[in-house]
Structures are given as structure tokens and as C-alpha cells.
Structure 1
């Protein structure tokens, strides 16, 4: 691999104008495709095939033709001024006027008067009207929305507080542009401090932005075809930007090092591509495998997120291996340190080789007290991981939105006026095809569910045209994300077998609340198997790369520590509310169901990134004759600053997304930032050197039969060590006749 990438790097250097032109054409082509593509539609109704709530939802669509749970709807909530009642003549007139005007609006199917539908709270302070449309929310015209907003405005002018739930006027989360700008600005500052050169800092940023631009344009161009939404694009941009900067950073850093070793520009580019590029390929491969592996969970939304993010990572790798060398060919000396440019390569190399840096000093600190560092690190991460044992998963809805949104205020008003469970009714579909008397069977089931402890009301059952399927709703006493609501669902389902024997009919529960409960349960059950597969995969991949039994085991255990500590931090903040106000979290509760599995997949890839970039340099020194302890110091000499900068960039990029309005993006941004912090600065920078020095030569032991059986990927670039001595003449963009490297 090292030789192949070496040749690729030199080719990109030599054909730099062609390479830059091809990338520019690709960016232009996908940009034009994104501009011409139709707007992305809905992602579909089948969120998680196989769970009961989804089966019941599909059954409703089959037995009740024409009913569309995805149709546009607005639940308009009216709140009377303090001390007054919504039933007062003036307020009632305002409500009636709004309902009448809404009913005559474009694309409206019906508007239900709250006074006729018994949709007034017991204390008469609150009422709600439901407006349904003939089309889905994505197909609503601006005229339809404006007509509803005008009617609402008139009711507010009459003195009522009016809030709107549903999907007609729902606020959309920001696309994440401000978060990306913040991340790029912080990354630029970190790169400038690390490299001390505007060109060296700017090149990784430029190439990463180009990669993300291509990724996002491709997602927009394919959005209508594959149902890719805004959340999918935000996550792809988050990862694409972070790894794009990091991968280019590693290549540029190695190029500067090779130039300081006396190599001419073309040879230095080839060697950087063959060594750092090999690590980039493997690190990118681990991220891609982890993200693509999310497709086995069986959640279409999660699959789309994973595959889009994986595509962004692949682009970041290709950019680092081709565009970065091409740009280095255009400005071969611009990214060098001022000392290298002024003093010359040989002088700079001698000065650098005889001076300790922060990485070597830290490594020696750890090597003097490895047991203490190991115990403190493991104990600290273990303590942070404890809250993960209390992880509760769900799908927060309007209650998780900021109070500045009308959906959140409508949710709170309905909960206050009609009870906490009103916002999460259970929809029950009775399949009475096998019953002798379908109506009697439906009455029996309805009565049994109404008597269930925790159910406050049940609506009358309505039948489909064939008369063999009934549909009704049950309102629990507790909110959609409370454990008591989950217990009610389980209690009702537990009674199904007895009711089926008694009536000859069966039933299933669906609705948003049941769908979220079933999804959370399925994903929680899938978390441990997925984590096991990811850990086993890491063992195999690292076994191939490092040709060692204990190094992969140590890496996998470190990954487990960092991901569990990160999950613990997420639970403490977003579920328990510790410091939630500081992050703008207005409502704590269950963690988004998709988040833990997605976090595991991403953190696995990122953890292996740092493992490869740091330990590969240690192995490189070890296989060239250095003792284990000295190899650790050498690895930190060359890689510590770059790994620290890469981790800081990742943290900066991910932290920028904590300010997003979308709850899932905020949670994932925090989880990823904390995971990188724990993994890079505790596991890789402290626990790894402590373990390696304690293991000594045993860390790199591999049975001979296994050594012969494993493929050789040569991440360290040992295949490039037979080249001739480096030249130390004047810097030039020309390719020297004979050059080599001493790795």
C-alpha cells in the first residue's frame, strides 16, 4: 500500500494542474446537479420495519384507504387570558371565526370546531381545533400556510393566546451553517498555532471545505431520489469537515517533516502519501466500515445517515491523497516552517532532532509512572461511564423544542389543560377478520383497555368500510416519554392473548408514542450486539495493521472506555440535566433512540484514527531498532502535536453543533466532542503509552504462523526504506533522479 500511495502522491504532484482541474469540474458538476434537483420529499413512513407499531401503522393504511397519517395537519390551541374562560361569548366568537376561515382555506379538508368536538378543557381555559389538509405537509403551498397564519393572527388580535402544533407551520431546524462556520474558525486558529504558517493552516481547511462542498451538493442532488433530509446532510457535513481537516493535516505535517529531512518536494510528497497517506487510508476505512455497518441495524433513517457520512469520509480520504499533494506541488515551500525556509533542510533537521518537544516530555512523564497514569485514567473514565448504566432511550418531540417555538408552547398548553398524556395518545387498531361479531369484539377490547390502570380515556371505535377493522385511541395519564407510559403499553399488550381467545380478534398499538417506545426498545436491544461487532472488527483490523495481539486488544478496550464515558456524559447532561442550562438544553429526558448506536459507530472510527496515527509511528521506530520505551518517545516526538491538533479540531467542529436547534444534532455534537476529548487525551495520549511501556517487547509479539497468514498492508511505509539517501540541495519542484527516505 505504501508504494502504491507513494506513486499516487508523486503522480498528483507531477500532474497537479490536471488533478486540481478534475476536482474543480467534479465540484461544479455536483453543484449544478444540486441546483437543478427537485426539492427532497418526505423520507417515507416506514421508520423501522418489523416493530409492532410499524406493522399496525401499515395495517391502518391497508384497511382504511384514504387515511394518511402523514397528511398535513395543524392543531390550533386557544388559551384564554388569566381568570377568563374560552367559552365566554367574545372568545368563543373569535374561535368560531378562526375555524370558519381556516375551513375555507386552500387545500383544507376539514376544520373541527372545538365546542362541537368536546375539545375544551375541564376548567374551560383551553381549547383546540384540528385542521386537516388534503395533501402532505411537503406539498402545502405558501398560500395555504399564509391563509392559516392570517386567521391565527386575527384570533390573537381578539385577545386570545394562540399556539400551533402539528406539521403545517412547524419550524425547521437550522441547516447547521453557523455551527460549521464556528468549527472552521476554531480549526483555523488551531492549525495556525500548530503549524505557525498561514499556508500550512489554510491548505487543510481549503481541501476539507472542497470535500464537504462536494458531499453536500451530492446529497442535495440525490435528496429527492433517496429521501435524504436536512439531518442527514448536517451529520455528513459534521464528519466530512472534521476528518477532512484531520486527514489533510496528517499529510501536510508528514510532508513538512520529510522536507526537513532533506528531501526535494516531489519526493517528500510521495513519502508523505506513502506513510501518512497509508494511515489515512486505514483510518478512513475504519470510519467507513463503522458508518456503513449502521445499515445492519434495520433503521432506514440510520442507514441513510451512515451511508451519507461514509461517502463524505471517502471523499475526505481521496482529497487527502490527491488534491493535497497537487496543491503542495503548486506551492512546495509555502507550507514549510520559517526556520526550514531560512536555515535550509539540513540545519532545520539537526535542530529539530536535537531538541525535545512537548510530546517527548509528556511521554517521558508517563513512562516514569505508568501504573499511576493507568490507574487514574481508567478510574476517571470508569466514573464518567457510570451514568451510562441508567441510559433511557426515546424520541423526544415538541416537548424537546425551545420554548421560543409555537410547537413547544402548544404542547405545554395542551398538557396543562388536558393532562400530560394528551400529547401522546395510543392508537389501537383491532383486526376483527377472525371474529364472529366484529363490533362486539371491538367493544370488548375497547372496554378492557379503558379499564387499564393509567388510561384516562378511550375514544369510540370507528370501523373501516368492510366492517372488519376498528380504530380507536387511548389517552394515558402520563407523558409520552415517561416510564409509566411505557408500562401502560406493555400492560395492554400483555392482555392481548387473553382477549384474542375471548373475542377471536386481535389488536396492535401504534401512534407516535408507541412507535417511539418500540423503536427505543429495538435500538436498545441492538446496541450491545452492534458494540460487540464493532469491537471485534477493531481487533481484526488492528491485528492486520500492527501485526500484534496485545496492541489491538488494548485499542479495543480503550475504545470501550471512551465510548462508555461519552455515553455517561450524555446521560448526565441530557437525561439528568447536569449543566444542561449551560448548553441551552431546555428539556431533559430520554436520549434520542438513534443517538447511542450512531455515536458508537462514529467514535469507533475516530478512536481508530488516533490509534493508527500515534501507534504507527511508535511501531515504525520499533521495527527500525529502537527499544520499546524509546519507540514510544519517538512516536510522541513526531505525532503528539499533530494528534493533539487533530483532536482539538474535531472537538471544535463537533462542539459547534451543540448550538444547533435540532435536539438530535445537539446531542450528537456533544457526545462526539466529549468522546474525542476522552479518547484522544486520556486513552491515546495517556493510557496507550502507559500500557505499551508496561508490556515492553511483548506489545509487538505475534505468532509466526499468524504473521505469515495475515496480509501485509505496510502502514508504516517500510517498503520505502530501500531508497537512496535524501538530497539536501536547494528546494525545488523538480523530481530528483535518485531520492530516498530513512523512516
Structure 2
């Protein structure tokens, strides 16, 4: 690592040119090639996907076609929608829409084909539109708006008019970065030292974003990959650079020459960055065990971003440090250093006093910290995974207005229709299918039923069931379960009839259930992974066990806060994503993977310094106290920066990203301030020196992992128990 750092320092302008060339080259390639994201959530083994496959075999159109669909809905006040002036006005607008490029068809409620598109009360009607990708939806919306008058209101909606994914135009990310800059200025008291982690993190994320755009043309990546990469990459990238810059400043103040200081910082904290980044990448790539394409794509995008932020910290940052020289120090520090001799930064302070307090009252403080974490995690027990629909959108949004008008006219389940696709190979099964269609209207939460029996020469029939509740409602999920487990099996008995419940709502439920069923396996995998990595790093059984358990506590707290804010609705409106709704299925897995990696980082930063002091003195109480005192400041600073960056994504107005930002930001704060700086040291104090026990047989068979370079040469004060463990924390003693 030191050789790499010295090369980057010597060839600093070459390194800067290479990074600039990478940005320009990738940017040019993206400009020429573009991107091709896909958000398909196909589940090959799900019942809903089987239903779609059967429809495709029968030649029926599905939502996989080239066209997108939408609606123009209008509502009258005081007159029916069939009033001649209303019919004339609306028909004229519909004719103009039908003549627009990209409009394949318009089914009007005033035609025989659309007769069912008028509400029972007669005050709401809608026209169904089939559009190609190049259709001008803004022009269609403008024509719809032209219908508005004192007695008539019109609005467009449906998938064709979905505004699509947006992260707020980058404004929220900028706010998060500015907050991180303020924190760094307060800590370093040097503008250049504060700016360097920002530059390094942004450069890594920028190159990664361009790489993801290009990669979407080669492998299936969802549109969320960009935001996911920025969300994770900005937080970890700034933190990783922080550790190296802080170590470099310490080395400069101790009197080391510039290049030696850079080499030492990269060879020590740089190794920790590699370990930390590898942990996050492994946790993200572990999501492939879930075997869900869109989630794998999101994980790949985030993993690439983390990897490139590590590369940026190990190459670009040393080059920038070499260019700036002593300007990473404050003016007072530079003057003191120039006056002669090393400069010692003041020690002790808040974190030293806090470490002493935890040592004196480990039981009480540990119980309080654990109780707070459990309290924050408790809502996760009620977490329900599912996709939010427009009913929970902000009240002033067009999508919510569309949903409200359609609900008033056609019920809340108008966009939650279920498709019961039946295979009817003989007369008996066809009769059973017809009987099933007649019985469905009596099933709880069913608002309407329409059946299309098999056509001549066909063996596939379709029953469309409209629920009485919205797509995101728990009652709709219960209806799908009742149909699959009770109603349909009863209809199939004694015949060759096979019915599969599908539709977009059922697909969303299947997707959520697939994630829920595999989440325990993923949790077990990362818990074991964390145990093994920490055991290799610290030659201990209890240290990795404490780390694995506390990692799970931090994850649970993050999920609990997400559940409380977004599912219970305790503050979701503050983030501009509307009212209460189920937690998006992706969020639970992404929070588990990313928070695991970040928790591992902080555990290593904390325990490594403790382990170093233990190896030097064999005084367990002192080791825990000193390790906590000397790492407290950097862990708190890193967590505050990461929480600012994560939390800023909570205000994008995009529910999935908001849930991830709030969940991970909260989890990082809980992990740093309650778990790593209270609970873990309290538990270690209570356990005592047994914390460092490691079986002899394990010592013989497990390889040694050097997280931060070679240990210092032993002195006469070094005990016979073994070599001094290298320091990992960036504000520690030398």
C-alpha cells in the first residue's frame, strides 16, 4: 500500500490527469451510446408470472407489450357526463388526442366498446389511451386541462403518465454534501482538509455513475441503480477519505516528511478503507443469493460505486495530498510546525470523559442503550412489505388527484384488478371455471367480477376481479391469499381445471413474499460473514460474536424507524412522499446489506484500537477505555457525515429512495452513538479479559489478516503475549 501511495504522490499530476480522462472519456461514451435501464421484476417461480405466461401463450396482450396505457378521466358537477354539451366538448378533445403522433388508440366511454367506462352515478367517465414510447404525454395532458371549467374537471393518469423516477435534480444530494462539508470544517479547522474528502467522494461517485450508465447497455440494471450508487457512494466515499486525511494530518504534525506521511496514512488507514470497502461490497453482492434480477442490479450498481470510491481514496486522494502539501493543516498548526518540532494535538476532552463514564457504569449505560435500540427496532415487528400506490401520494399531486377521481367513480380497487387465468382442457373444467366466476362476487373484498370464457379452440379463460380496496391495502393482499388458498382450490376439486391468480397487484405481492421468505437466509449469511471476518482480524471469539449481534440490532433499528415513519405514517409527509403505505420491498434487503457493511466498519475502527492497547498493556479495562476515547471523535464525525448524506436523500420525493435514506441515516446514527460508543464497550467491560479469548486450535488454522499494515517494532514495554496490533483508528496515539 505504501508503494502505491508513494507512486501516486510522485506522479500526482499523472494521477489527476488519469482521473480527469476517465470522467471525460466515460462521459463522452455515455453521450454517444446512452443508457438502457430495465425495471423488470419478473419472478420465474411465482404464480403471477405463470398467469402472464399462460396469457402470452394464448395470444392475449399483457403489460409487457410495446405500448403503454393511460386514462383521461373527467368528472362533472351538477350535470351527468352524458349531457350533450359535455359529450360534444370531450369528444372534440378525444379526437384531437387520437390524431396526435404516438397515440395508437382511444377508447371513449361514448362508444359501445367503452360503455363500462361511465360510473354508476353518472358523474365520472374515462377514456382509455394506448400510447407508444414517443407519444407526447405533456401535450395530451394540456388538452385534458383545456376541458376544465366550472362544471367539468379532467385529469390524466395511469402508467403512461407516470412521471418516472426522479432524485430531485441533485439538489438534495448537494445539501447533504454541504452539511458534510460544514462538519468537516468544524473538525479539521482547515478548508482544504475539509474539501478533500468531498472531492474524493464525489469523483468516485461520478466515475461510478458514468460506468453504471454504460453498464446498463450490457447487463440488466434498474433505473434506481444510479440513485442507489450515489446514496451509498457519497456516504462511504467521504468517510473513507476522512480517515486517510485525518491520519495524514496526524503524521504531518508528528514531523514526518510529506511523502512519508502520505505513505503511512495510506498504508494504515488505507488498509482499513480497503477492508471496510470490501466488507460493504461483499454484503451487497451477497444479495445475489436472493435470485431477484432487479435487486441484483441495484446491488451491482451500489457495489461498483463503493469499489470506485475506495480506488479514489487510494489513488486520487494521495495525489491531491501531494499537491496541497502542508495546506491540509490549519494556519496555526503550520506556523507551529514551521517553528520547529512535532505538534501535539490536545487529547482528552469529551470522548475521554465519556469513555471513563462507560467504564464506571457499564451495566446501567449498557442497559439504557440496549433498551433504546430495542425501542427503535420494535416497529419492525409490524413491517409489511409492498408497493405504495397513488392513494398514498401527496394530496397536491396529480397522481393522487387522478386516483381520487377514479376512486369516487369506480371504487378504490379500480387499479388493483386481479386476473384469474384458468386452464380448461375439457368440458368439466370449463364448467368449473364458469361456476367459479359466478361464486367470486360473494367473496369478501370483491367489488366486481367479469369473466371471459375460453374462445373457440382455446383452453385459456380469464376472470377479472376488482377488489373493494386499494392495491396497497392489506385487505387486497388477504384477498389474493384467500383466492389462492381457499376459493380457487375448492373450484378445482374433481376437475382438471387449473387457475392462477395474476395481475400487477398479485405480482407485487409475490415479489414482497419472495423477499420476505429469503430475508432470514440473507441475514444468516451476513451474520456468519461478519463473525468470520472479525475473528480473523482480532483473533477472538467474543469480539466477532458481539459485533454480529450488535450489527443485527443496528439493522433492526433502521428497519424499525423506516416502518414507523413510512408505514405507520409518523412523519412521511415531512419527506414529501405522502401518507402511510407499506415499506417498499427493496428497502428491507438494501438496509440489511448496507448497514451491515457500515456497522462492520465502525466495529473494526473501534475494536482495533482497543486490541492494540490490550496487546501492549494486557489491561482490559484500560484497553476498552483508551480505544473508545481515541476512536469516539472519528466515529462520531464519520457517522454524522454519513447520516447527513443519507438523510438528504430522504427529501427526493421518491418513496423508495426516501425510505432508504432515512432508514440508513437513522441506522448509522444508532450504530455509532448507541451501539459502538455505549453498548459494545459496556458489554466488553462486563465480560472482562475473556473478551480476547481465542482457542489454540483456531489460532493454528486461521490465517492472519493485516488490516493496517505491519505492526510496530516491539519495545521493552511490550508484553510477551504477542506483537502489538496495528492501530486502526485515525485519531489515535503514536
Q: What's the TM-score bracket when you normalise by the shorter of the two chains?
A: over 0.9
- Once residues 257 and 346 of structure 1 are traced to their aligned partners in structure 2, the CA distance between those partners, rounded to angstroms, is 17
Report what 1:737 is aligned to. Answer: none
Report what 2:723 is aligned to. Answer: none
1:104 aligns with 2:99: yes
Q: Do 2:536 and 2:704's aligned partners in 1 also have CA atoms closer than 8 Å?
A: yes
**Structure-to-structure mapping, 1:385-534, within 5 angstroms:** 385-432=377-424, 434-436=425-427, 439-461=430-452, 463=454, 466-494=457-485, 495-534=487-526
Report what 1:323 is aligned to. Answer: 316
**Structure-to-structure mapping, 1:208-223, within 5 angstroms:** 208-223=201-216
Alignment match of 1:77 (pick from 73, 76, 85) = 73
Moved more, 643-652 or 34-43: 34-43
Alignment match of 1:56 (pick from 42, 51, 57) = 51
Quote how far apart the aligned CAs of 1:350 are: 6.2
- Once residues 404 and 310 of structure 2 are traced to their aligned partners in structure 1, the CA distance between those partners, rounded to angstroms, is 47
Quote how far apart the aligned CAs of 1:716 are: 4.0
Paired residue secondary structure (1:497): helix
Paired residue secondary structure (1:34): helix
Q: Deviations over 1:370-425 (max 9, x none)?
A: 11110100011111211111111111122233233322211111112221222211
Report what 2:602 is aligned to. Answer: 610
Gaps of 5+ in 1: 724-740
Paired residue secondary structure (1:363): helix
Cα distance change, pair 22–127 in 1 and its aligned pair in 2 (3 A): same
1:343 aligns with 2:339: no
Alignment match of 1:131 (pick from 129, 132, 137) = 129
- Once residues 237 and 101 of structure 2 are traced to their aligned partners in structure 1, the CA distance between those partners, rounded to angstroms, is 47
Q: Do 2:540 and 2:692's aligned partners in 1 also have CA atoms closer than 8 Å?
A: yes
Q: Do 1:617 and 1:716's aligned partners in 2 also have CA atoms closer than 8 Å?
A: no
Cα distance change, pair 682–348 in 1 and its aligned pair in 2 (3 A): farther
Cα distance change, pair 465–624 in 1 and its aligned pair in 2 (3 A): farther
Alignment match of 2:26 (pick from 17, 24, 30) = 30
Q: Deviations over 1:100-127 (max 9, x none)?
A: 3333332333211224422122222211
Paired residue secondary structure (2:413): helix
- Once residues 331 and 620 of structure 1 are traced to their aligned partners in structure 2, the CA distance between those partners, rounded to angstroms, is 32
Quote how far apart the aligned CAs of 1:26 are: 1.6
Cα distance change, pair 96–502 in 1 and its aligned pair in 2 (3 A): farther
Paired residue secondary structure (1:332): helix
Quote how far apart the aligned CAs of 1:303 are: 0.7
- Once residues 661 and 519 of structure 1 are traced to their aligned partners in structure 2, the CA distance between those partners, rounded to angstroms, is 23
Report what 1:18 is aligned to. Answer: 14
Report what 1:730 is aligned to. Answer: none
Paired residue secondary structure (1:474): strand
Cα distance change, pair 496–460 in 1 and its aligned pair in 2 (3 A): closer
Q: Do 2:472 and 2:582's aligned partners in 1 also have CA atoms closer than 8 Å?
A: yes
**Structure-to-structure mapping, 1:220-239, within 5 angstroms:** 220-239=213-232
Moved more, 274-283 or 15-24: 15-24
Paired residue secondary structure (2:198): helix
Cα distance change, pair 348–442 in 1 and its aligned pair in 2 (3 A): farther
TM-score, with normalisation over the residues of structure 1?
0.91
Alignment match of 1:140 (pick from 134, 138, 163) = 134
Q: Do 1:629 and 1:696's aligned partners in 2 also have CA atoms closer than 8 Å?
A: yes
Question: How many residue pairs align between the two structures?
Answer: 712
Paired residue secondary structure (1:472): strand
Cα distance change, pair 441–38 in 1 and its aligned pair in 2 (3 A): farther
Report what 2:200 is aligned to. Answer: 207
Paired residue secondary structure (1:225): coil
TM-score, with normalisation over the residues of structure 2?
0.92
Moved more, 29-38 or 208-217: 29-38
**Structure-to-structure mapping, 1:684-695, within 5 angstroms:** 684-695=676-687
Report what 2:727 is aligned to. Answer: none
Moved more, 528-537 or 203-212: 528-537
- Once residues 345 and 473 of structure 1 are traced to their aligned partners in structure 2, the CA distance between those partners, rounded to angstroms, is 81
- Once residues 486 and 156 of structure 1 are traced to their aligned partners in structure 2, the CA distance between those partners, rounded to angstroms, is 37
Paired residue secondary structure (2:128): strand
- Once residues 706 and 7 of structure 2 are traced to their aligned partners in structure 1, the CA distance between those partners, rounded to angstroms, is 20
Q: Deviations over 1:298-329 (max 9, x none)?
A: 22111111111001000111111121112111
Quote how far apart the aligned CAs of 1:637 are: 4.2
1:375 aligns with 2:383: no
Quote how far apart the aligned CAs of 1:69 are: 4.1
1:362 aligns with 2:354: yes
Q: Do 2:595 and 2:664's aligned partners in 1 also have CA atoms closer than 8 Å?
A: yes
Q: Do 1:255 and 1:272's aligned partners in 2 also have CA atoms closer than 8 Å?
A: yes
Report what 2:83 is aligned to. Answer: 88
- Once residues 216 and 672 of structure 1 are traced to their aligned partners in structure 2, the CA distance between those partners, rounded to angstroms, is 20
Cα distance change, pair 67–555 in 1 and its aligned pair in 2 (3 A): closer
Q: Do 1:179 and 1:659's aligned partners in 2 also have CA atoms closer than 8 Å?
A: yes
Report what 1:254 is aligned to. Answer: 247
Q: Which has the higher contact order (CA 8 A, sep 6+)?
A: 1
Report what 2:120 is aligned to. Answer: 122
Q: Do 1:400 and 1:663's aligned partners in 2 also have CA atoms closer than 8 Å?
A: no
- Once residues 222 and 385 of structure 1 are traced to their aligned partners in structure 2, the CA distance between those partners, rounded to angstroms, is 37
- Once residues 438 and 9 of structure 1 are traced to their aligned partners in structure 2, the CA distance between those partners, rounded to angstroms, is 74
Gaps of 5+ in 2: 716-731
**Structure-to-structure mapping, 1:297-336, within 5 angstroms:** 297-336=290-329
Q: Deviations over 1:519-571 (max 9, x none)?
A: 12221122222112111111111111121111111111111111112211111
Alignment match of 2:190 (pick from 187, 197, 205) = 197
Quote how far apart the aligned CAs of 1:338 are: 3.5
Paired residue secondary structure (1:122): coil
Paired residue secondary structure (2:458): coil
1:646 aligns with 2:648: no
- Once residues 233 and 664 of structure 2 are traced to their aligned partners in structure 1, the CA distance between those partners, rounded to angstroms, is 14
Moved more, 481-490 or 505-514: 481-490
Quote how far apart the aligned CAs of 1:41 are: 4.9
Quote how far apart the aligned CAs of 1:68 are: 4.4
1:565 aligns with 2:557: yes
Q: Do 2:577 and 2:654's aligned partners in 1 also have CA atoms closer than 8 Å?
A: no
- Once residues 204 and 192 of structure 2 are traced to their aligned partners in structure 1, the CA distance between those partners, rounded to angstroms, is 18
Report what 2:700 is aligned to. Answer: 708
Quote how far apart the aligned CAs of 1:348 are: 7.5
- Once residues 671 and 536 of structure 2 are traced to their aligned partners in structure 1, the CA distance between those partners, rounded to angstroms, is 22
Q: Do 2:141 and 2:156's aligned partners in 1 also have CA atoms closer than 8 Å?
A: no
Moved more, 146-155 or 546-555: 146-155
Quote how far apart the aligned CAs of 1:39 are: 4.2
Q: Do 1:382 and 1:561's aligned partners in 2 also have CA atoms closer than 8 Å?
A: yes
Q: Do 1:275 and 1:716's aligned partners in 2 also have CA atoms closer than 8 Å?
A: yes
**Alignment RMSD:** 2.3
Q: Do 1:74 and 1:164's aligned partners in 2 also have CA atoms closer than 8 Å?
A: yes
Q: Do 1:499 and 1:506's aligned partners in 2 also have CA atoms closer than 8 Å?
A: no
